[in-house]
Chains A and B, each alone.
Chain A
Amino acid sequence: MSVENEAMESLPHRGEEVHTHNHTKWYVANILALFVLTAITVLAAGINFGSNTVNLMIAMAIATVKASLVALIFMHLLWERGMNAIIFLSSLFFVALFMCFTFFDVETRAKIEPATPSEPGVSAGYQPAPLPLYVVAPKGESESKAGQSAKPAEGAAAH
């Protein structure tokens, strides 16, 4: 076993191969680029691009570029392609899946309007029938119905 170890260790070490190069210049350039992109994010937030959603998307796009720089250079994905990159990218795929399908539903659902939440933390709680489920009960009733928990009453008192 030990003989085998020594034999294997004299072979080039793939992990070391990646790092024996000096990447300091890359790192410095990367951190500067990240600063610039941070500035751009802040500036872009001050501009109205038409709607809330568009602004959000632009901010997320810039953040994605920044995150990619971190992944490629600081996390070395630029130099070590292969399984690690696949693992990382697959996670993004499943995150996208999670978000897209949930938004499919939320955006195409016949609107069940929630009651406007005017009272922080005063949940209507679990309402046995015949009360409609997604409507805030009148205050007195909500306290008595959701009475298992003392918290709603405290939240209301704070107002």
Chain B
Amino acid sequence: MSDIAIPVGGQAHPRASSHSKHLQHHFHNSAQQFEASKIGMWLFLVTEILLFSGLFLAYFILQTRHPQAFIEAHHHLDRSLGVLNTVVLLVSSFTMVMAVQSSALNRIKPALVYLYATFILGGVFMCVKYIEYSHKFHDGLLLGNLFSYKGASVPGEYLFFSMYFVMTGIHGIHILVGMAVIAYLIWRTHQGMYSSAYYTPIDLTGLYWHLVDMIWIFLFPLLYLVS
């Protein structure tokens, strides 16, 4: 992705001749370059899906082995915070897609606003996550051998928290990476790098951001709504 994010030419006249400026030498035209980047991004998303599939499979297997422990353990999570974070991420997906559309329609100002909104919503998500994590740390509801909660009624509750921390941890890292890329996009948009002629990085980041949202859509019921 970074491959396309770095423009090739100078910055004197961002709008003028932006095609040739962003066109890398081995492509015939920007349509070809755009489509190649897009296919590359989708392939990257495929790898992300397969990566998370391993986590989901591990969750399902542990859950079928220890159903009672998972039900008991998930009561320690705050369901309302989970719902809040779901809504936050869904809205951030909306603002992201609006950013993509605005830049495609060459409305750079709104695009910038939407990018800021997405970034901030990502930050809100991480803050909520931080609050949740600090509660768990305080109670000793942690993964593996760090689990030190005294009131566990069913053996094996720590397995749930192993999955909880590994899954939300890896997901959280993806959110952070996404936020970093969006920050970069904001910086570049301020510089006038993007227009309807070239907005590939915004488009690709959008795809990534939606995928991260999609994964949360599955994580939310698995972790917060076991029944």
Instruction: List residues of A whose CB falls within 8 A of some B CB.
Output: 2, 4-5, 8-9, 11, 13-16, 19-20, 22-24, 27-28, 30-31, 34-35, 38, 41-42, 45-46, 48, 52, 55-56, 59-60, 62-63, 66-67, 70-71, 73-75, 83-84, 87-88, 90-92, 94-95, 98-99, 102-103, 106, 114, 116-118, 120-122, 151-152, 154-155, 158-159
A153 to B30 alpha-carbon distance, docked (Å): 61
A interface majority secondary structure: helix
Q: Which of B56-113 contact A (CB under 8 A)?
A: 56-57, 60-61, 63-65, 67, 71, 79, 83, 86-87, 90-91, 93-94, 96-98, 100-101, 104-105
> A5 — which chain B residues lie within 8 A by C-beta?
19-20, 23, 28-29
A102 to B58 alpha-carbon distance, docked (Å): 10
Q: Which of B182-227 contact A (CB under 8 A)?
A: 196, 203, 206-207, 210-211, 213-214, 217-218, 220-222, 225-227
- Find out whether the CB atom of B35 lies under 8 angstroms from the CB atom of A14: yes
Q: Does B38 contact A (CB under 8 A)?
A: yes
> A20 — which chain B residues lie within 8 A by C-beta?
104-105
Known: A42-B83, A83-B39. A67 touches B217 (CB 8 A): yes
Known: A91-B50, A121-B145. A45 touches B218 (CB 8 A): no
What residue in chain B is nearest A91 (Cβ atoms)? Answer: B46
B interface majority secondary structure: helix
A2 to B217 alpha-carbon distance, docked (Å): 46
- Find out whether the CB atom of B93 lies under 8 angstroms from the CB atom of A70: yes
> B23 — which chain A residues lie within 8 A by C-beta?
5
B128 to chain A, nearest CB (A): 15
A95 to B20 alpha-carbon distance, docked (Å): 40
Q: Does B147 contact A (CB under 8 A)?
A: yes
- Find out whether the CB atom of A158 lies under 8 angstroms from the CB atom of B42: no
> B146 — which chain A residues lie within 8 A by C-beta?
121
A37 to chain B, nearest CB (A): 9
Question: Number of B interface residues, CB 8 Å?
Answer: 69
Q: Can you show 10 pairs from A to B with CB atoms below 8 A apart?
A: A9-B31, A19-B105, A59-B222, A70-B214, A71-B214, A75-B211, A91-B49, A92-B49, A122-B145, A152-B145
B82 to chain A, nearest CB (A): 9
Known: A15-B31, A99-B57, A121-B147. A41 touches B210 (CB 8 A): no
